[in-house]
Amino acid sequence: MTTQDFKTKGTLRIFASYYKPHWHLFALDMLCATGICLVDLLFPWVSRLCMNELLPGKLYTVFFVVMAAMAAAYLLRSAFYYVVTYWGHMLGVRIEADIRRDLFSHMQDLPFSFYDKNRTGQLMSRVTGDLFEITELAHHGPEDLFISTVTLIGSFLVMLTIRWELAVAVFVVVPLFLWFTIVQRRRMNRASMEVKRTLAGINGELESSLSGMRTAKAFANEQAEIEKFGQANDRFRGSKTDYYKAMATYHSGLEFAMGIMSVLVIALGGFLIMRGRMDYIDLITFSLYVSTFLTPIRKLSAFVEQYTQGMAGFHRFLELMRVEPDIQDAPDAKELSDVKGDILVKDVTFAYDKDAEPVLSHIDLHISPGQTVAVVGPSGGGKSTLCQLIPRFYDVSEGAILVDGTDVRALTQRSLRRAIGIVQQDVFLFAGTIFDNIAYGKPGATMDEVREAARKAEILDDILDMPDGFQTYVGERGVMLSGGQKQRISIARIFLKDPPILILDEATSALDSVTEHRIQGAFDALAKGRTTLIIAHRLSTIRSAERILVIDGAGIAEEGSHAELLARGGAYAKLYAAQNGGDETHAHG
């Protein structure tokens, strides 16, 4: 189902579509539910038959045969309940898993701009917590609705044959109950949505607090974090209070409706007995049917609660599924193959928001295949933004970026990004082993390939010195490793990927000078034979670049080799002198 389908189709139609792959389980569930209904409807009728005909007629053999048949029916009913409970819940679990799969898959298609504006913890809540009640709704929803409808109609029809006046009196309560249910469901739905939102807020605070635990401890701000989390927790408690108030109103009204129904039957039945228009056996049978009648009403009340909670989560699922990815492959997008690495930035202007000031303005740049070009400039000048436009993490506001003569918007994102290797300052390692993190560059890579990539990145000796070698656990975001080790593992990952285009985005700025110097050799080896774009803060790392561009936010202020730019005495020379303590002799050396 496409994003457009999620936008145009109704909520219940979308929900129902998830049953289609599992229709055989759904059919089995409904078949067994029908069997349960029939047994429930049969027992009061059999009881009346026994009391009216079999026992007064002294047909004792027939009576015990009928009782044995009812025992067998209840045994079969218990088997039906096993199927409904186990396979019905498995149906719900499978539907929940399918919904979660679609949501996660859709989130993979959403652009960087979406994640810039949404907190990780809140998104995690959408994928996990919001969908927990879907299992119960997917299983019990249709089943309870079906059983309740069949049992209510069946009970009412049989009660009509016994005493129509009593049947009408009982059934009058049902429309009032349904009206009350609809009103309360709306109230509960609003309260449930608020619970989901506040729970997502808690997850957001929790994710932020756990991710920043080291910073909190460094500033001795643990109490401030506790108070911040406490505020979110209080909001959640308040939303739960409103939800349970709505639920309490609903259940108290439900219990009154069911209680008054029994009172009505006994009162009106007693009146009819007094008038000689009804006997005790019919009243007992009618009371049994009222009990049968009340069971589906209880099921309907449970269904209302499940529907309220499940649909609140499903609506939040739909909110995300209806977010249209800003960046999509064109219908006629083609694969980028036989990549030479020619990059042309043609009169590019870019702003993160339509009304915001441009970060880049009318940038022109050409990088020939195999060439190494460095981009320097002040912080906020747009250097990293330029790196993110080439692999199309964002789309240009004006102009175009071409790779091998083709606009990146006319290429499939997958083939474009497969051709580009990016090493960033903030290295992200997954919580797994060193082998897993290096092999991420080429899923399915062999140990020999991973080992060779590690050797090229000059991290092999470090890995072999670790107790578990390549199976060493790196911790959350690679916390068990040093900054230099993390960076070299990210370089090994790119060696394994072996892309024709390389982007180094301030890849050494977080490292000390000694580690930076050691890693520089790995970068030089990595850049060899590839089109390379280096975004640098430390100018000492780019002296070997064939071309250096100075971007100052308005555009390219200067361009040339290291020596040429120093001799010119412009913006680059000032930056270089500032980084070297204003030592002009050193600057020209």
Q: Which helix (H) or strand (E) holds 344?
A: strand 343-350
Confidence tier at 298 by pLDDT (50, 70, 90): confident
* pLDDT tops 80 at residue 362: yes
User: Both 252 and 129 in a single domain?
Assistant: yes
pLDDT value at residue 515: 66
Q: Which helix (H) or strand (E) holds 588?
A: helix 584-588
> Residue 278 in contact with residue 272, Cβ under 8 Å?
yes
Q: Which of 204-213, 487-496, 514-523, 580-589 has the lowest mean pLDDT?
A: 580-589
Per-residue pLDDT, averaged over 233-254, amounts to 78
In a domain, 59, yes or no: yes
Last residue of some domain: 269, 299, 321? 321
Residues 6 or more apart whose Cβ sits within 8 Å of residue 79: none
Last residue of some domain: 277, 302, 321? 321
Residue that has been written with the tokens 């929790």 in this structure: 206
Q: Which token pair is 537? A: 């803060």
Tell me if residue 492 falls in helix, strand or coil: helix
pLDDT value at residue 588: 41
In a domain, 343, yes or no: no
pLDDT value at residue 402: 92
Domain count, the chain: 2
Tens-place pLDDT, residues 256-271: 776 777 777 778 778 8
The rounded distance, in Å, linking the Cα atoms of 548 and 385 is 17
Q: Which of 383, 359, 389 is nearest to 575 (CA)?
A: 383
Cα separation of the two ends of the chain: 62
The rounded distance, in Å, linking the Cα atoms of 526 and 454 is 12
* pLDDT tops 80 at residue 473: yes
In a domain, 39, yes or no: yes
User: Residue 315: exposed, middle, or buried by beta-carbon count in 10 A (0-12, 13-18, 19+)?
Assistant: middle
φ, ψ dihedrals at 173, nearest 5°:
-70, -30
The rounded distance, in Å, linking the Cα atoms of 578 and 582 is 5
Confidence tier at 214 by pLDDT (50, 70, 90): low
Confidence tier at 589 by pLDDT (50, 70, 90): very low
User: Both 432 and 317 in a single domain?
Assistant: no
Long-range contacts of 211-218 (CB under 8 A, 24+ apart): 211/120
pLDDT value at residue 240: 75
> Residue 404 in contact with residue 123, Cβ under 8 Å?
no
Selected residue with higher pLDDT from 322 and 259: 322
In a domain, 527, yes or no: no
User: Both 149 and 294 in a single domain?
Assistant: yes
Per-residue pLDDT, averaged over 428-436, amounts to 83
The rounded distance, in Å, linking the Cα atoms of 498 and 418 is 9
Selected residue with higher pLDDT from 343 and 225: 343
List, in sequence order, the alpha helices (H) in 23-131.
Answer: 23-49, 60-109, 112-117, 120-127
User: Both 197 and 62 in a single domain?
Assistant: yes
The rounded distance, in Å, linking the Cα atoms of 192 and 243 is 6
In a domain, 354, yes or no: no
Q: Which of 154-163, 175-184, 279-288, 513-522 has the lowest mean pLDDT?
A: 513-522
pLDDT value at residue 543: 67
> Residue 208 in contact with residue 216, Cβ under 8 Å?
no
Per-residue pLDDT, averaged over 76-85, amounts to 88
The rounded distance, in Å, linking the Cα atoms of 344 and 359 is 19
In a domain, 51, yes or no: yes
Task: Give ∠ CA 309-310-313 in degrees, rounded to 5.
Answer: 90
List, in sequence order, the alpha helices (H) in 347-468.
Answer: 383-389, 413-418, 434-439, 447-456, 460-465
In a domain, 222, yes or no: yes
Q: Which of 264-268, 286-290, 384-388, 571-575 has the lowest mean pLDDT?
A: 286-290
Per-residue pLDDT, averaged over 225-236, amounts to 77
As a dihedral over the C-alpha atoms of residue 378, residue 384, residue 385, residue 387, rounded to 10 degrees, the angle is 140
Confidence tier at 344 by pLDDT (50, 70, 90): very high
User: Both 316 and 457 in a single domain?
Assistant: no
* pLDDT tops 60 at residue 422: yes
* pLDDT tops 50 at residue 587: no
In a domain, 275, yes or no: yes
Q: Which of 229-243, 344-358, 380-394 has the lowest mean pLDDT?
A: 229-243
CATH of the domain at 493: 3.40.50.300
Domain that includes residue 261, residue range: 3-321
Q: Which of 147-161, 202-216, 416-430, 468-482 has the lowest mean pLDDT?
A: 202-216
User: Both 440 and 309 in a single domain?
Assistant: no
* pLDDT tops 60 at residue 571: yes
User: Both 458 and 316 in a single domain?
Assistant: no
The rounded distance, in Å, linking the Cα atoms of 571 and 550 is 8
3-state secondary structure 534-558: EECCCHHHHCCCCEEEEECCCCEEE
Confidence tier at 309 by pLDDT (50, 70, 90): confident
User: Both 58 and 192 in a single domain?
Assistant: yes
The rounded distance, in Å, linking the Cα atoms of 519 and 525 is 10
CATH of the domain at 289: 1.20.1560.10
pTM reported for the whole predicted model: 0.66
Q: What percentage of the chain exceeds 70 in pLDDT?
A: 90
Tens-place pLDDT, residues 17-71: 888 999 998 999 889 988 888 888 887 788 777 877 887 888 888 888 988 988 9
The rounded distance, in Å, linking the Cα atoms of 146 and 413 is 47
Per-residue pLDDT, averaged over 496-519, amounts to 75
Per-residue pLDDT, averaged over 141-154, amounts to 81
User: Both 142 and 269 in a single domain?
Assistant: yes
Last residue of some domain: 286, 321, 356? 321
* pLDDT tops 70 at residue 347: yes
